[in-house]
Structure 1
Amino acid sequence: MPEYEDPHHWDGAARHYEQTAHPFTALFAAAALARVPLTQDSRVLDVAAGTGALTLLAARTGARVLATDFSPGMVDRVAASNLPNVDVQVMDGQALTLEDSSFDAVFSIFGVMMFPDWRRGLAEMARVTRPGGYGVVATWQDRGAATFLLLGQIRDKLFPERAGMAMPAGIQALSDPADFAREMIAAGYRDPHIEHVTHDYLLQTATLSDPDALFGMSPDWTSLSDTDKSAVVDEVRTMAGERAVLPIPSTALIAVARR
């Protein structure tokens, strides 16, 4: 089983994820929210919520938000916000223990794309969305984003003869807008609209002093020898030059559909 399919892996990574990935994914969560009208009467579900980038932003609208994730460690970080209009629950997004048609808007920001049965995850999202409600899914393009994307690019340059990490099947399948739209319709949604949204991941070059913390969640990193890792770090420093921050343009696809 890949690490990203193991809830215990995410339990251990939750605090690090909250500090590093959360602020970046929140940029895309904000873009997703901007495409859906929410009110204080809205019921919102965040599937595979992670540390709650979407949940916390949606809660600011006054909507009632339920954040679910299969990782108790991730759910605990959302619960720590202590927001009165946010509920949390440990739950498998491939088998939501929720009633049909019970939410006005259902989001998954870089979550369903990681599921072993991502089609089932999409179908479950549609099942719990009320008729006329919204389903919103964000996924990366097939090379990933942020440090995953950077590391893949550097590996291609330094070690072109070596195969890199295969992206999860959901990311590969949904990285083309036409395919993404078809899958949203097959799941039970209608009129999907797919947009490319790009933001820079701002890599602080000072963090290169601890590259295992920076790249350690990627199998593309852990499979390298110490010599190879040093070569990767040197390449990043060369790319950054004198800059304290190296921007890594990263593009997501955001699908918005109706039930």
Structure 2
Amino acid sequence: MAVAASERGASVLAVDFAPAMVERAEERLQQFHRSTAKVMDFIALDIADGSQDVAISNFGILAYPSWQGALKEMVRVIRPGGAIALTMWTNRDDCSPAHLLHRVFRQLFPNKDLWPPGLFPIFSPTALEKGLLRAGCVDVRVRTAQADWSPFSSNDVGRECDPMFRGFPGYAGLSDSNRSDLLASLKMAFEEYAGSGGVIRLPTKAFVVFASKPT
């Protein structure tokens, strides 16, 4: 998203609490002299009050129980009349590869947690609207976007997703044997969404939220 905004002429400050993510963002932003990336904690941004025009969190703060505090930080750093945008999965079991993994993991290991309790909070449009209003936003609009997630073929799904899945403690803590069983079951689950040529088209829904800071 930082690259897309920079390509459209915006001056972008991309932030993340993971140094590796910031390092990668810096590499991709090198061609844009007005854009940069920095390591920051999203509940304590090192950014001056009212210094930004727009604040965007793309599948970011809403994935954590501390999202309300992070949202207040987003409101703090944008100018009066500035804009806020957020995205978040709708928490359907088939709305992302991670959620499909969660469904299969629960079936195979009912006594284990894939990720910490509270990660990926469950939202509704009404809950999101109320949360943004509590943070001081106005003109809140919540939409549901739908598309097919189709970057994988059924033969590649385990190899392609394994590095991402290792970020979840429950997956990373499995024995090699258990992980192999999980990936075999996950492959079958993905194949249920495969069309012609073996291309997987995972039905994906996400909330897209827009709001403003009062003038």
Structure 1 residue matching 2:101: 3-state secondary structure: helix
Number of the residue aligned with 1:198:
146
Number of the residue aligned with 2:156:
207
1:255 maps to a residue whose letter is V
1:257 aligns with 2:211: yes
Number of the residue aligned with 2:181:
231
For the 8 Å contact 2:62–2:120, the answer to whether it is kept is yes
In structure 2, the CA distance between the partners of 1:220 and 1:151, relative to structure 1 (3 Å rule), is: farther
Number of the residue aligned with 1:183:
131
For the 8 Å contact 1:105–1:134, the answer to whether it is kept is yes
Number of the residue aligned with 2:103:
153
Consecutive unaligned residues in structure 1, runs of 5 or more: 1-53
Number of the residue aligned with 1:73:
20
Q: CA deviation at 1:62?
A: 0.7
The answer to which structure, 1 or 2, has the higher relative contact order (CA under 8 A, 6+ apart) is 2
Which TM-score applies when normalising by structure 1? 0.68
State which of 196, 200, 208 in structure 2 corresponds to 1:246.
Answer: 200
Number of the residue aligned with 1:134:
83
1:62 maps to a residue whose letter is G
In structure 2, the CA distance between the partners of 1:245 and 1:213, relative to structure 1 (3 Å rule), is: farther
Provide the aligned length of Structure 1 versus Structure 2: 204
Consecutive unaligned residues in structure 2, runs of 5 or more: none
Q: CA deviation at 1:64?
A: 1.1
Structure 1 residue matching 2:103: 3-state secondary structure: helix
Normalized per residue, the structure richer in helix is: 1
2:26 maps to a residue whose letter is A
Q: CA deviation at 1:78?
A: 1.2
CA RMSD of aligned residues (A): 2.6
1:118 aligns with 2:72: no
Q: CA deviation at 1:55?
A: 0.7
Q: How far does the alpha carbon of each residue in 1:5-46 deviate from its partner, in whole angstroms, 9 at most, with x for none?
A: xxxxxxxxxxxxxxxxxxxxxxxxxxxxxxxxxxxxxxxxxx
Number of the residue aligned with 1:11:
none
CA distance in 2, matches of 1:204, 1:136: 32
For the 8 Å contact 1:143–1:149, the answer to whether it is kept is yes
Structure 2 residue matching 1:130: 3-state secondary structure: strand
1:235 maps to a residue whose letter is S
CA distance in 2, matches of 1:172, 1:178: 14
CA distance in 1, matches of 2:198, 2:177: 24
In structure 2, the CA distance between the partners of 1:246 and 1:106, relative to structure 1 (3 Å rule), is: same
For the 8 Å contact 1:150–1:248, the answer to whether it is kept is no
Which TM-score applies when normalising by structure 2? 0.80
CA distance in 1, matches of 2:183, 2:37: 39
Number of the residue aligned with 1:47:
none
Q: CA deviation at 1:115?
A: 4.2
Structure 1 residue matching 2:48: 3-state secondary structure: coil
CA distance in 2, matches of 1:191, 1:167: 33
For the 8 Å contact 1:200–1:250, the answer to whether it is kept is yes
